[in-house]
């Protein structure tokens, strides 16, 4: 019986994805541990540390276990892990049985954390590939929205009130800019986190001898697994793992901002956007008219939960001496869950943004609802060269107050204000009070964001 939503028979595909569960599930983790043990044996066989035949035999045994030709005894593994406290010694015993007489060379000079850390790095590499794929798709959807609605005016809002006109394409491009930076972060962190781990009991590789010779095993191991070879053991410096989860938390924070904007825009009073229509999706059990923003809600929830995992891995950075007495275990919980929630949120974002319903007519209606007040700044800036900025501000401020109190268009009030209409003229005032004429560099910034795509 599952206890969390990521493994729930009901909620798993709302908060996560099958692909990411395939990367971080128990079977996948154990397969990566076996992969590391086999790679270590091959590396040491090549270097003559153990017989070359042993490396081959251990690799064949590993292949038998990971391919299913020989079943891994999970019941036995679970029982022995609960006794030992870690799964590697129990796993090594079963792998050794598959390798025959050469099984005695398995795990040569290694320690549990070497195998588990390197296995997790392999999981992270696979998880980042999935994140990258989904992130690329979401960025593509945002670029399409920015391009399509480059010149579609809508009300820009600050403090939830009309501020100045923007375009919906500009809004989508702003969202895109953050996700582009996250894509850069994802690329930049790989060399810092995709590192092989092999240091032995205290990280010094003393069991393999002194000096540079003992380091050759780690270098060849890294090559076998297509990982980077670190200059020094990193098992008590967890910044690479922590950085990965922080990146995921940042990504979901940005997705949460997009989800919040879309959710507010889909409110009845705004009606400017809606999630893709699917019959029955977002239905209320009692109100037939409802279309709740389900994807946005799930993205927001995932962002909040993942924030807690980011805090956990920061706590795991504080380790004691040459082997941590507990902080490491925090990562066993935080890393798989972080990737699970990140994948789920990206999956929801792909669906939501890929079919987002945009109501440009409602945007225009909302933009006009204050009868020109949203471009009061435009009138002030147009008048300022004639009267000075402060005087222009006061004149337009008074006109806005009258327009609000009498529920009249700002243009009508301005046309009755001689100190305003005199210097500017009616035609100029009409142009200044048209929101479509006060978009600033919004369309140009959209072009910059889309350049080269």
With a cut of 80, say whether residue 36 has pLDDT above it: yes
Between strands 161-167 and 357-358, the pairing is: unpaired
Portions of the chain given CATH number 1.10.40.30: 370-447
Residue 79 has, within 13 A of its CA and on its CB side, a CA count of 4
With a cut of 90, say whether residue 326 has pLDDT above it: no
Portions of the chain given CATH number 1.20.200.10: 136-195+234-359
Averaged over 206-225, what is the pLDDT? 92
Contact 369, 403 (CB under 8 A): no
Top CATH class of 370-447 equals mainly alpha
CA gap 272, 262 in Å, rounded: 9
pTM of the complete model? 0.93
pLDDT digits (tens, 9 = 90+) for 329-366: 999 999 999 999 999 999 999 999 999 999 999 999 99
pLDDT digits (tens, 9 = 90+) for 161-178: 999 999 999 999 999 999
Mean pLDDT score across all residues of the chain = 93
Portions of the chain given CATH number 1.10.275.10: 17-110+199-224
Rounded to a whole number of angstroms, the distance between the first and last alpha carbons of the chain is 46
Averaged over 279-284, what is the pLDDT? 58
pLDDT recorded at residue 282: 53
Averaged over 326-330, what is the pLDDT? 89
Contact 35, 62 (CB under 8 A): yes
Write down the catalytic residue from 63, 107, 283, 284: 284
Q: Which distant-in-sequence residues (6+ apart) come within 8 Å of 180 by Cβ?
A: 139, 449
With a cut of 70, say whether residue 372 has pLDDT above it: yes
Write down the catalytic residue from 8, 107, 141, 159: 159
Buried b / exposed e over 11-47, threshold 16 CB at 10 Å, is: ebebbbbeebbebbbeebbbbbbbbbbbbbbbbbbbb
Q: In the annotation, is 386 catalytic?
A: no
With 0-12 CB in 10 A as exposed, 13-18 as middle and 19+ as buried, what is 188? exposed
Q: In the annotation, is 207 catalytic?
A: no
136-195+234-359 topology per CATH: Fumarase C; Chain A, domain 2 (1.20.200)
CATH architecture of the domain 17-110+199-224 equals Orthogonal Bundle (1.10)
How far, CA to CA in Å, does 133 sit from each of 160, 183, 187? 34, 10, 12
pLDDT digits (tens, 9 = 90+) for 248-277: 999 999 999 999 999 999 999 999 999 998
Contact 30, 91 (CB under 8 A): yes
């Amino acid at each position: 019986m599952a206890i969390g939503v990521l493994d729930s028979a009901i909620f798993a595909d709302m908060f996560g994805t099958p692909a990411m569960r395939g990367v971080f599930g128990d079977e996948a983790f154990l397969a990566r541990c076996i992969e590391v043990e086999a790679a270590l044996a091959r590396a040491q066989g090549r270097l003559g540390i153990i017989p070359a035949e042993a490396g081959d035999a251990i690799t064949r045994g590993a292949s038998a276990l990971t391919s299913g030709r020989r079943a891994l005894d999970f019941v036995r593994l679970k029982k022995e892990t609960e006794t030992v406290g870690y799964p590697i010694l129990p796993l090594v015993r079963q792998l050794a049985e598959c390798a025959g007489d050469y099984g005695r060379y398995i795990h040569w000079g290694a320690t549990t954390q070497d195998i588990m850390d390197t296995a997790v790095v392999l999981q992270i590499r696979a998880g980042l590939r999935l994140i990258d794929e989904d992130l690329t798709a979401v960025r593509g959807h945002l670029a399409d929205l920015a391009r399509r609605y480059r010149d579609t005016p809508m009300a820009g809002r600050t403090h939830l009130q009309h501020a100045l006109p923007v375009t919906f394409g500009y809004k989508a491009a702003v969202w895109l800019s953050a996700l582009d930076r996250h894509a850069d972060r994802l690329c930049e962190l790989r060399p810092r986190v995709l590192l092989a781990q092999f240091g032995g009991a205290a990280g010094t590789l003393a069991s393999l001898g002194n000096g540079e010779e003992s380091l050759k095993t780690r270098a060849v191991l890294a090559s076998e697994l297509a990982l980077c070879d670190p200059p020094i053991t990193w098992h008590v410096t967890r910044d690479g793992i922590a950085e990965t989860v922080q990146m995921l938390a940042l990504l979901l924070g940005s997705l949460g901002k997009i989800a919040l904007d879309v959710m507010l825009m889909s409110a009845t009073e705004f009606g400017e956007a809606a999630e893709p229509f699917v019959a029955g999706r977002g239905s209320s059990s009692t109100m037939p008219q409802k279309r709740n923003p389900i994807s946005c809600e799930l993205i927001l929830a995932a962002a909040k939960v993942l924030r807690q995992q980011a805090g956990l891995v920061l706590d795991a950075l504080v380790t004691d001496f040459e082997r941590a007495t507990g902080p490491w275990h925090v990562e066993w919980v935080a890393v798989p869950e972080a990737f699970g929630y990140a994948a789920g949120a990206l999956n929801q974002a792909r669906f939501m943004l890929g079919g987002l319903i945009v109501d440009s007519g409602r945007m225009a209606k909302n933009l006009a609802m204050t009868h020109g007040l949203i471009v009061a700044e435009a009138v002030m800036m147009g008048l300022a060269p004639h009267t000075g900025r402060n005087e222009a501000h006061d004149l337009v401020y008074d006109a806005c107050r009258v327009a609000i109190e009498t529920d009249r268009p700002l243009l009508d009030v301005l046309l009755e204000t001689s100190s305003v209409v005199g210097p500017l003229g009616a035609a100029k005032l009409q142009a200044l009070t048209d929101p479509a004429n006060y978009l600033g560099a919004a369309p140009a910034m959209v072009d910059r964001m889309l350049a080269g795509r």
